[in-house]
Amino acid sequence: MGQGLSCRVQDEHGLFTAVQSGDLETVRSVLERDPDLIHQTTVNDRHSALHIAAANGRIEIVSMLLDDRLLNSDSLNRHKQTPLMLAAMHGKISCVQKLIEAGANILMFDSMNGRTCLHYAAFYGHSDCLQTILFAARTSHIAVSWGFSRFVNIRDGKGATPLHLAARQQHPNCVHKLLDSGALVCASTGGYSFPGSTPLHLAARGGSIECIRELLAWGADRHQHDSSGRIPYMVALKHKNGACAALLNPSSAEPLVWPSPLKFISELHQDAKALLERALMEANREREKTIFKGAGHLVPSSSQSDNDGIDDNISEVSEMELCCICFDHVCTIEVQDCGHQMCAQCTLALCCHNKVNPSTPPVCPFCRSKIVRLVAVEVKTANQDLNPKLWKSRMPNCMEESCSIKGLLGVPSFGKARSHGSARISVDTQCIDKT
Ligand SMILES: [Zn+2]
Ligand SMILES: [Zn+2]
């Protein structure tokens, strides 16, 4: 993989050089003089003009070649790589889009590692290309004939899924997008890296704390062994990734996991989802601080965001805006259609808490109606805050009820969640017990 696109050899006609440099006029005039040249390929790797244009992001030339139907969008080089694979490898998003529009097949495998364009995007960390390919898979016949989730978890010749590659190569954005699209967080590789490696093993080896954070939040298992009997913690230690090892140590506090009942809420509004994800990651970062302190590591710089802006906003908010369950955070999530509101932390706690029967959707803690849709609360201006109707809809009927809701959610006991058996269902202590 990653071979150069040298076209110095046998380019006396100047076509490949012109394609590589994006010189559309020269490309046109060369082809007018000798139309058969379009079928020439480079000597070593047998790249077509389309391969060279796609890899170099020459969108005008890619468009010309495709629109004039001069070359097949799925032409193959020596390694059976398509122009789409090369565009995904080099992160040329406009070429990826154009090729897919022109009907390029996203389900082609190269002959080197048996990889698809999705593997290439994941390996090289181009999350925009990855997203475009996933969108194409979701909306094309592949979703029907192959199944979308099968495509997301497609394996290369050594049994690596795109998630394995993104985790190994330290690309947290790709890891996130893949998990969000249904990538299996605990899949084991066949022969890639150490056999039996999970994405968590590979992230431990790569040393990306961000990837580990994402994988753990999606329920990656810190206890899963590879074929040599190693857990991810041991892999991190071996590669001297100390901070990663601290998070992966099975004896350190378990991270909060993206709750599976949320998957049963059919319409989780994008904004609401982003708020919940942020709350989850923030809660986990608070945990990490304790873990790192205990392990003698500096808190990684990426967790700097804690106090900037968000807390300042809260200090200016009137009591009316506060969540009626914890009285600690601002209401950011609204249940439809009942209209009850709570903070993202309490919403997460509510969904995490429903562990006994994870196949039933969680219910609204205020009116007990099934939660089928969560939306983000619209940000209101100061004047609108005084609207008594809004206040009422947010408030439970009486304070006693609020207490019983707390009990229902298990909110007061989250700080000592271990006494309930699993820290997984808990929300960080920062969310509670300050009232
Ligand atoms: Zn709350
Ligand atoms: Zn309700």
Give the number of other CB atoms < 10 A from CB of residue 329: 22
Distance between CA atoms of residues 132 and 271, nearest Å: 21
Instruction: Report the DSSP beta bridge partners of residue 322.
Output: 330
Ligand 2 centre distance from Cα of residue 433 (Å): 23
Ligand nearest to the CA of 332: 1
- Judging by DSSP bridges, how do beta strands 373-376 and 333-336 pair with one another? antiparallel
Distance between CA atoms of residues 203 and 232, nearest Å: 8
Distance between CA atoms of residues 223 and 215, nearest Å: 13
Q: Which amino acid does the sequence have at 385?
A: D
Ligand nearest to the CA of 322: 1
Ligand 1 centre distance from Cα of residue 275 (Å): 13
Ligand 1 centre distance from Cα of residue 312 (Å): 18
Residue 378 vs residues 71, 385, 431: alpha-carbon distances, Å: 50, 12, 22
SS (H, E, C) the chain: CCCCCCCCCCCCCCHHHHHHHCCHHHHHHHHHHCHHHHHCCCCCCCCCHHHHHHHCCCHHHHHHHHHCCCCCCCCCCCCCCCHHHHHHHCCCHHHHHHHHHCCCCCCCCCCCCCCCHHHHHHHCCCHHHHHHHHHHHHHCHHHHHHHHHHHHCCCCCCCCCHHHHHHHCCCHHHHHHHHHCCCCCCCCCCCCCCCCCCHHHHHHHHCCHHHHHHHHHCCCCCCCCCCCCCCHHHHHHHCCCHHHHHHHCCCCCCCCCCCHHHHHCCEECHHHHHHHHHHHHHHHHHHHHHHHHHHCCCCCHHHHHHHCCHHHHHHHCCHHHECCCCCCCECCEEEECCCCEECHHHHHHHHHHCCCCCCCCCECCCCCCECCEEEECCCCCHHHHHCHHHHHHHCCCCHHHHHHHHHHHCHHHHHHHHHHCCHHHCCCHHHCCCC
Ligand nearest to the CA of 335: 2
Ligand 2 centre distance from Cα of residue 337 (Å): 8
Ligand 1 centre distance from Cα of residue 47 (Å): 58
Ligand 1 centre distance from Cα of residue 212 (Å): 27
pLDDT of residue 27: 94
Ligand nearest to the CA of 350: 1
- The protein residues having their C-beta less than 5 angstroms from ligand 1 (an ion) are 323, 325-326, 329, 343, 346
Ligand 2 centre distance from Cα of residue 335 (Å): 6
Exposed, middle or buried by CB within 10 Å (0-12, 13-18, 19+), for 64? middle
Ligand 2 centre distance from Cα of residue 312 (Å): 29
- What are the structure tokens assigned to 299, written together? 């808190």
Q: What domains, with CATH codes, occur in the chain?
A: 1-105 (1.25.40.20), 144-252 (1.25.40.20), 260-279+319-431 (3.30.40.10)
Distance between CA atoms of residues 433 and 337, nearest Å: 30
* CB-based burial, 214-223: b 16+ in 10 Å, e otherwise: bbbbbebebe
Ligand nearest to the CA of 346: 1
Ligand nearest to the CA of 393: 2
Ligand 1 centre distance from Cα of residue 328 (Å): 6
Distance between CA atoms of residues 435 and 82, nearest Å: 60
**Tens digit of pLDDT per residue, the chain (435 long)?**
444 455 444 677 889 999 999 999 999 999 999 999 999 999 899 999 999 999 999 999 999 999 988 889 999 999 999 999 999 999 999 999 999 999 999 999 999 999 999 999 999 999 999 999 999 999 988 888 889 999 999 999 999 999 999 999 999 999 999 998 989 999 999 888 889 999 999 999 999 999 999 999 888 999 999 999 999 999 999 999 999 999 999 998 888 887 766 655 556 677 788 888 888 888 888 888 888 887 766 655 544 444 444 444 444 555 567 888 888 888 888 888 898 999 888 888 887 654 455 566 778 889 988 887 888 887 654 444 444 444 444 444 444 444 444 444 444 333 333 333 333 333 333 333 333
Ligand nearest to the CA of 348: 1
Ligand nearest to the CA of 396: 2
Ligand 1 centre distance from Cα of residue 305 (Å): 20
Ligand 1 centre distance from Cα of residue 152 (Å): 35
Torsion of CA 414, 326, 267, 138, to 10 degrees: -50
- CA torsion sign for 101, 96, 105, 144 is negative
Ligand 1 centre distance from Cα of residue 131 (Å): 33
Ligand 1 centre distance from Cα of residue 326 (Å): 4
* Pick from 413, 405, 270: nearest CA to 333: 270
Ligand 1 centre distance from Cα of residue 8 (Å): 64
Q: Is 198 within 8 Å of 220 (Cβ atoms)?
A: yes
Would you give the distance in Å from CA 26 to the centre of its chain? 42
Ligand nearest to the CA of 397: 2
Tally of residues, the chain: 435
Ligand 1 centre distance from Cα of residue 344 (Å): 7
Q: Which amino acid does the sequence have at 59?
A: I
Ligand 2 centre distance from Cα of residue 217 (Å): 27
Ligand nearest to the CA of 314: 1
Distance between CA atoms of residues 267 and 373, nearest Å: 5
pTM score, whole prediction? 0.76
Q: Is 35 within 8 Å of 69 (Cβ atoms)?
A: no
Ligand nearest to the CA of 337: 2
Ligand 1 centre distance from Cα of residue 429 (Å): 12
Residue 112 vs residues 85, 189, 192, 325, 381: alpha-carbon distances, Å: 12, 17, 13, 56, 58
Phi, psi of 40 (to 5 degrees): -70, 150
Ligand 1 centre distance from Cα of residue 330 (Å): 7
pLDDT of residue 309: 41
Ligand nearest to the CA of 395: 2
